[in-house]
Amino acid sequence: MQVPALSRQQRAIASALVLAVALGLAFPVTAWVARALPRTSSTMTAPEPGMDYMMSIEYNWIMQSRTTGGAIAQNIRGDYVIPYFANLAALTLLRRDPDAARTYMEWYIGHLNRPDDTGLFGTIYNYAGQVPPDAADGQGVVAGRPVAPTFGPAAHLNFAPTMEYDSADSYAATFLSLVGDYTDRTDDESFAREHLPDIKLVADVILALQDEDGLVWAKANHPKKYLMDNSEDYRGLEDFAALLTRLGLPELGNGYHEAAVRIAGGIEQKLWDPKTSNYYWYLAANGRRARANWKTWYPDAVSQLYPILNGLIQPDDPRAKGLWATLNRYHGEWVTRTDLTPWAVTAYVATIMGDNDRADAAFQTVKEESLMSKRDPQWHSVESAFIYLAYEARRGTLPKHYLVD
């Protein structure tokens, strides 16, 4: 083994050490030598993972949650494909692999209901992962749920519709925003032009559920109008209107823009409570409005972020500042959450609000507790999506979809 030659400085230090030992001064000089000599790899602290590395962790988690057909499962186990969450996860795929995002959008279009069990065209059901009988040692599935002793990864599963969805409006709205973001980011209009009748069918789900007050019902058979959903409905229709204008159909786009304006008016007139300076989180068919209980994280407290998230109020608006301050007063611990659903969207809103200290604290939690090697395989892909988007936003690049106009 070749021994590296000592530098002039190192030879001088060694000579001083020999002299010091002879004079009985070894300890203080040895300490000085330890500070003067270059630090070896055994004494240096390993650098923390950089932002690029952490973003890759989240991106790869989403990629591992993809199914053979291009859908994005709720987790890498492939328990479910819930299109609402998949739409949001695809916004992240779009940033690194537009083809993967387009494949997902093709999957979505290919699974539209025409109609569903309520008579609506353009909705989409949730899909449950099923272990093929041969992979389950003959056990198969029961009531749409895998009964094999092992799960996933998602790409190894079959998926069957559950014949239900959590909402009709938000699924449609977030898909419209995804298509708009894809078209703007890639300058590829071919998907939108090829599938415009189907995309319009999706947009018309929102119009079919829109009431006279401007607000949108979550489902045809669910008599509630939610703050979170309607905020997303507003964003989705505005994004679709912009897409239509880009495609040379401004008059058609104006109709969807006007519907979005009616949603914004309904939120302001029906869901804003000036007495408490926050929003009701839903309005029921009987006129009952649910006042937010700030002690309850979901849906009460976190729903207050969605008008900010979707551009209904500006981050420098006193209303937005008040809502953000109140949420952190009641739930300041959100920056340390490490469960399966930490609501990483909150870190993204923190960047919109310019609250970089809290955003960075949340990122540190991710670094320490939620790296891929430590995660439960049930970790939701949409959480990875919003962590990625929050990192992107922290760099100063706010994605168009969730950037206020």
**pLDDT tens profile 266-290:** 999 999 999 999 999 999 999 999 9
Q: What ranges do the domains of the chain cover?
A: 8-36, 69-126+162-394
- The pLDDT assigned to 241 comes to 97
Crossing angle of helices 250-266/196-209, nearest 10°?
30
Q: Is the pLDDT of residue 16 over 50?
A: no
Q: Enter the tokens of residue 98.
A: 């537009």
Task: Please tell me the predicted confidence (pLDDT) of residue 83.
Answer: 98
User: Which pair of structure tokens corresponds to residue 353?
Assistant: 């609000």
Q: 0.75 cut: is pTM over it?
A: yes
pLDDT in the model for residue 58: 92
Contact 74, 80 (CB under 8 A): yes
Query: What pLDDT, on a 0 to 100 scale, did the predictor assign at position 47?
Result: 52
Residue 21 confidence (pLDDT): 36
Average pLDDT over residues 333-342: 90
pLDDT at 394: 87
The answer to whether 84 and 166 have CB atoms below 8 angstroms apart is: yes
Average pLDDT rounded to a whole number, residues 227-232: 98
Res 185 pLDDT > 70: yes
Residues contacting 368, CB < 8 A, separation 6+:
none
Distances (CA, A) of 46 to 49, 58, 223, 314: 9, 21, 55, 41
Was domain 69-126+162-394 assigned CATH 3.30.2230.10? no
Asked if pLDDT for residue 140 goes beyond 90, the answer is no
* All residues at 6 or more sequence positions from 226 whose CB lies less than 8 Å from its CB, including other chains: 167, 218, 281, 282, 299, 303
Distance between CA atoms of residues 177 and 165, nearest Å: 19
Top-confidence residue, 213 or 137 = 213
pLDDT score of 156: 76
pLDDT band at 373 (very low <50, low <70, confident <90, very high): low
